[in-house]
Amino acid sequence: MDMRAESAAAAMATELTVVVPTFNERENVPLLVERLDRALAGIAWEVIFVDDDSPDGTADAVRDLARRDPRVRGIERIGRRGLSSATVEGVLASSSPYFAVMDADLQHDDERLPDMLARIKAEHLDIVVGSRHIEGGTLEGLNRQRQAISRLAGKAGRLVIKADLSDPMSGYFLMDRRVFDETVHNLSLQGFKILLDLFASAPRPLRFAEVACRFLPRQHGQSKLDSMAAWEFGMLILDKLIGRYVPVRFVVFAFVGGTGLAVHLVTLYLLSFAGVGFAAAQTVAVIAAMTWNFFLNNLITYRDRRLRGFALVRGLLTFYAICAVGAVANIGVAEIVYSDRGILWLAGIAGAAIGVVWNFAVSNYLTWRRRTG
Ligand code: GDD
Ligand code: MN
């Protein structure tokens, strides 16, 4: 390419990529593009929609627009869900020096984008965050309950990041691509909270600014922030707090095991009290505890891989089998430690530790096997 052609091409290169994760946002897509066109006049921009095979045909709506407007691009992912991972893949598919992330549903105030871009450049920042919690920002798009949850989640979020962000739950921000590249390998990628993940995973404290944003009510479609999103958020916080030392899932599993022990003892006492012989009472108590553990793990620990229907029965049976072997290992190890050291509590703890590690490792693999596809 000669130099003139090269500099002409460089002049056309996009400066800002707007990454928009979508799930069932068909009606919002054309409206958002129209709004971006107005808000970003004079800036070389593009938008990348990352759609998780929405049943409403959002990806088709994106392709329709893309055929007419080269600034519109789409990525469609099949068999996967997740706001964070969709966002990250959108950024990875772009090469602009700056990218912004926003909802498709027109809840984020697109008119702030030029300001955000001007600020990141003028102040040499890593990221500019749209905040609903500083002077001028609003939360009118959330009902009272969601507002309270959002504030609480913000507090939890600030536990795991070093920055004093007023709105770590924001889904609206603009970032320097180079900083993203330094961070992307450390991201948890779980769930909803990509901004929090970026701050928590960056190799150094991010230089940031906040701009006040209105958070408007949704016009079309529904929010996808449900109890699953809340669960993923909790796991993300735990992962950032303790994930470096132990897997979060193991901690939750062990906690569930602790409640199972309580179930065991209560059952044992109640049955003995009712006159049932020890061996029978102990057997029933063991089964009660295993069953309790299975269902609680299925509800909480493996919320994201929850078994239902026939898989639930199959899962329960494998779980019984695994725990039976775990119990044998537990007793075996406890005996060895006891005969070696003669310390009762040490033997008990050693046995229980082996039991819980075994149960976790094997049930993680057999009972709640990750479905690949
Ligand atoms: N690709 C993909 N996959 N996109 C998704 C998924 C998914 O699994 N789930 C949601 N989205 C898209 C939605 O289509 C929307 O464009 C955007 O991600 C945000 O989802 P909403 O359903 O609109 O979330 P919200 O408005 O309830 O939550 C907003 O406020 C939260 C703070 O209270 C978002 O801005 C969040 O990012 C923010 O944390
Ligand atoms: Mn939204």
Atom 35 (ligand 1) nearest CA: 171
Which ligand 1 atom minimizes the distance to the CA of 86?
1
Answering whether pTM is above 0.85, one says: no
Spatial CA neighbour of 150 closest among 133, 162, 163:
133
Q: Are 302 and 350 in contact (CB under 8 A)?
A: no
Atom 9 (ligand 1) nearest CA: 83
Question: Residues 236-266: pLDDT tens digits?
Answer: 778 878 888 888 899 999 999 999 999 999 9
In angstroms, the CA 43 to CA 12 distance is 10
Which ligand 1 atom minimizes the distance to the CA of 107?
26
Residue predicted with more confidence, 192 or 336: 336
Question: Residues 92-114: pLDDT tens digits?
Answer: 999 999 999 999 999 899 999 99
- Stretch 321-331: mean pLDDT: 93
Question: Residues 122-143: pLDDT tens digits?
Answer: 999 999 999 887 777 766 677 7
Atom 8 (ligand 1) nearest CA: 82
Residue 371 confidence (pLDDT): 64
Instruction: Beginning with the edge strand found earlier in the chain, give each strand of the sheet holding 45-51 in spatial order.
Output: 72-76, 45-51, 16-22, 98-101, 173-176, 127-131, 208-212
- Stretch 308-321: mean pLDDT: 95
At 53, list the tokens: 């095979």
284 — pLDDT class (breaks 50, 70, 90): very high
Q: Give the amino acid at 94.
A: S
At 23, list the tokens: 């799930």
> Separation of 221 CA from ligand 2 center, angstroms?
9
Instruction: Among the bound ligands, name the one nearest to the CA of residue 191.
Output: 1
Atom 12 (ligand 1) nearest CA: 22
Atom 29 (ligand 1) nearest CA: 171
> Separation of 229 CA from ligand 2 center, angstroms?
13
Q: How is residue 192 annotated by DSSP? A: S
29 — pLDDT class (breaks 50, 70, 90): very high
What is the CB-side half-sphere exposure of residue 118 using CA atoms within 13 A? 8
The CATH class given to the 3-242 domain equals alpha beta
Residue predicted with more confidence, 1 or 118: 118
At 306, list the tokens: 């929850």
Instruction: List the chain domain ranges.
Output: 3-242, 248-367
> Separation of 63 CA from ligand 1 center, angstroms?
21
Spatial CA neighbour of 213 closest among 100, 126, 121:
100
Residues whose CB is less than 8 angstroms from the CB of residue 179 and which lie 6 or more positions away in sequence, other chains included: 126, 127, 202, 206
> Separation of 141 CA from ligand 1 center, angstroms?
13
Question: Residues 50-81: pLDDT tens digits?
Answer: 999 999 999 999 999 999 999 999 999 999 88
> Separation of 218 CA from ligand 1 center, angstroms?
11
**CB-proximal residues (5 Å) to ion ligand 2:** 103, 105, 107
Residues with CB under 6 A from ligand 1: 21-23, 25, 50-52, 81-83, 86, 103-105, 107, 150, 169, 171, 192, 223-225
Atom 23 (ligand 1) nearest CA: 223
Which ligand 1 atom minimizes the distance to the CA of 20?
16
- Stretch 156-168: mean pLDDT: 79
Which of 22, 53, 83 most suits a substitution to test ligand 1, by most atoms within 8 Å of the C-beta? 83
373 — pLDDT class (breaks 50, 70, 90): very low
What is the CB-side half-sphere exposure of residue 67 using CA atoms within 13 A? 5
Alpha helices, DSSP H only, in the chain? 3-12, 28-39, 58-68, 83-92, 113-122, 144-160, 177-183, 194-201, 227-242, 248-273, 278-296, 310-341, 344-366
Which of 27, 142, 224, 236 most suits a substitution to test ligand 1, by most atoms within 8 Å of the C-beta? 224
